[in-house]
Amino acid sequence: MMRCGVVVSQAIVSFLYAYGVAGLVAALLFLLLGIDRVEPSARGAYAFRPLIVPGLVMLWPLVLWRWWQIVQGRGADMSVRRSFLVRHAAAWKALAVVLPIMLFAALALRQSGPYELPAVPIDQRAMSVESGR
Amino acid sequence: MAGDGKDVFFIGYINAVPQPLGRFLAVIGLIVVVVMAGLGLLLSQRTADPGWAVTGYQHIELRGILEARPYPVLRVPDGEGRKPRAYLLAGEGKYGVQSQADGLYGRWVTVAGYLLKRGTLDMLLVDDKEGIVVASASDVLHPAPPQSLGRWRLTGEICDGKCYSGAMSPGNGLAHKACANLCLVGGVPPVFVSTGAVSGSEYFLLTDNKDGVNARRFADFVGQLVSVEGEIERVDNFYIFKSDPETMRAAGP
């Protein structure tokens, strides 16, 4: 049973590792070659590019798909973009509700304190140890 | 923000940050760095000693008698001005050394590894390459029997002995719960860190009053403040808390 758990854990870690490495390669290619085509206003600007690496690594399949769409000439289709923006706005609204709930739930459920207590002797022998301190 | 009559406005894509905004950000950045560094320094002064090992592992070789209490413990004799000491043993990674110790209990052995230390807690991480080796017996040492200190109710936290004694810093708290549970399931001895000392010690090897080594019993309570009753025994310099899992509950209301 434990062996099976270890194998599953190793498989998950290997998958995440491969996904991360692929994401880094995709992010590098995108930042060097693709971003100028996907977002024309980013041309000539470099300082912000490292900042978006984590997002690119997480979302690299979507990034590559969007890049491919634009290369194919379908990226300028505003209806595609608008649907993204609509979903983006919906995600933000959902997060605006969910994040405060998570925060307050965590605060409500956390073990607040302090409840540090001294060691309490229960039997006769413990009491003699206590009195001999 | 106003500059020489023109509004300055920063957007992420532009290359040159307007000068007034640049100066403003430099000042704010400097203040943030200084304040955060100062806060870090102040808070670190109030943090408990995370143990020795965080500053570098010390490789040593010890000779003594291997005992199961019920986790593997190496009892090293007194001599050359040393008092007898008991060392908890764990392996490299998130594993105990039960499989290596099996069949060697009660025998003289030499153990090479890395020493972790925190308070009265001594732990030896057995070197995978050198392991536990049978050594020649000594007829000088007769380990003292465990001394019962009676039944106590302790409040504190269940940690894994390896991380808490210095393999990780700090190695306790809720954020460390998953790591501690992995260590415990792997056979690393659990340690109860009490908020109140018994006979000068706040650290106890945690066992239960039945099969002794079933760390899964404690899994839900690891990393949080709990109170539990049990019997305490002293073995040389360290203490064993034979807890009663039925009495274990979260501390506080």
B61 and B84 part of one domain:
yes
Last residue of a domain, one of B134, B160, B194: B134
- Classify residue B8 by burial, with Cβ atoms within 10 Å: 0-12, 13-18, 19+: middle
Chain A contact present for B199, CB below 8 A = yes
Report, as an integer, the average pLDDT of B216-244: 89
Of B54 and B116, which is predicted with more confidence? B116
CATH of the domain at B99: 2.40.50.140
Residues in B closer than 8 angstroms to A122, CB to CB, are 150-153, 229
A29 and A67 part of one domain:
yes
- What integer pLDDT is reported at residue B211 of this predicted model? 60
DSSP letter string, B73-88: EEEEPPBTTBPPEEEE
In tens, the pLDDT along A121-131 reads: 999 888 888 87
Give B161's Cβ-side CA count (13 Å radius). 35
Q: Is residue B29 part of a domain?
A: no
Angle at alpha carbon of residue B33, lines to B29 and B35, rounded to 5°:
115
Of A132 and A88, which is predicted with more confidence? A88
Q: State how many domains chain A has.
A: 2
User: Considering CB atoms only, which of A48, A113, A119 is closest to B196?
Assistant: A119
CB under 8 Å, gap of 24 or more: what pairs does A28-31 form? A30/A56, A30/A60, A30/A63, A30/A64, A30/A67, A31/A56
In tens, the pLDDT along A14-34 reads: 999 999 999 999 999 999 999
Last residue of a domain, one of B108, B134, B160: B134
A4 and A61 part of one domain:
yes
pLDDT band at B3 (very low <50, low <70, confident <90, very high): very low
Interface touch B15/A44, C-beta < 8 Å = yes
A16 and A64 part of one domain:
yes
Residue B179, pLDDT > 90, answer yes
- What integer pLDDT is reported at residue B52 of this predicted model? 58
B159 and B241 part of one domain:
yes
B152 and B175 part of one domain:
yes
A24 and A43 part of one domain:
yes
pLDDT band at B69 (very low <50, low <70, confident <90, very high): confident
Interface touch B225/A118, C-beta < 8 Å = no
A104 and A70 part of one domain:
no
Residue A20 to residue A24: CA distance in whole angstroms = 6
CB atoms within 10 A of CB B107: 14
- What integer pLDDT is reported at residue A16 of this predicted model? 96
Q: Is A117 helix (H, G, I), strand (E, B) or coil?
A: coil
Candidate from A114-118, B26-30, B131-135 with smallest mean pLDDT = A114-118
pLDDT band at A37 (very low <50, low <70, confident <90, very high): confident
- What integer pLDDT is reported at residue B15 of this predicted model? 64
Report, as an integer, the average pLDDT of B141-163: 90
pLDDT band at A80 (very low <50, low <70, confident <90, very high): low
- What integer pLDDT is reported at residue B22 of this predicted model? 83
Q: Is residue B48 part of a domain?
A: no
- What integer pLDDT is reported at residue B55 of this predicted model? 47
A15 and A54 part of one domain:
yes
Contacts of B2 (CB under 8 A, 6+ apart): B8, B20
Last residue of a domain, one of B103, B134, B165: B134
- What integer pLDDT is reported at residue B53 of this predicted model? 57
- Mean pLDDT comparison of A63-67, B30-34, B139-143, highest-scoring range: B30-34
Chain A contact present for B175, CB below 8 A = no
Residue B11, pLDDT > 70, answer no
CATH of the domain at B163: 2.40.50
A84 and A95 part of one domain:
yes
- Residues B132/B104, Cβ–Cβ less than 8 Å: yes
B172 and B79 part of one domain:
no
Which residues form the domain of B203? Answer: 147-250
B173 and B211 part of one domain:
yes
B106 and B155 part of one domain:
no
Chain B contact present for A62, CB below 8 A = no
DSSP letter string, B26-74: HHHHHHHHHHHHHHHHHHHHTSPP--SGGG--EEEEEEEEEEESSSEEE
A30 and A12 part of one domain:
yes
- DSSP code for A14: H
Q: Is residue B178 part of a domain?
A: yes
Test the A interface: residue of B15, B21, B151, B201 with most A CBs within 10 Å? B151
In the predicted model, what is the mean pLDDT of chain B? 84
pLDDT band at B2 (very low <50, low <70, confident <90, very high): very low
Q: Is B227 helix (H, G, I), strand (E, B) or coil?
A: strand
A99 and A66 part of one domain:
no
Q: Is B159 helix (H, G, I), strand (E, B) or coil?
A: strand
Residue B188, pLDDT > 50, answer yes
Residue B16, pLDDT > 80, answer no
pLDDT band at B7 (very low <50, low <70, confident <90, very high): low
A34 and A67 part of one domain:
yes
Test the A interface: residue of B147, B157, B195, B226 with most A CBs within 10 Å? B195
- Mean pLDDT comparison of A93-97, B60-64, B130-134, highest-scoring range: A93-97
B69 and B151 part of one domain:
no
B157 and B121 part of one domain:
no
Q: Is B235 helix (H, G, I), strand (E, B) or coil?
A: strand
Report, as an integer, the average pLDDT of B215-224: 84
Residue B241 to residue B79: CA distance in whole angstroms = 28
Cα end-to-end distance, chain B, whole Å: 52
Helix (H) or strand (E) holding A120: strand A120-121
pLDDT band at A77 (very low <50, low <70, confident <90, very high): low
Which residues form the domain of A88? Answer: 77-110
Residues in A closer than 8 angstroms to B195, CB to CB, are 116-118
A29 and A58 part of one domain:
yes
User: Considering CB atoms only, which of B12, B151, B229 is closest to A48?
Assistant: B12
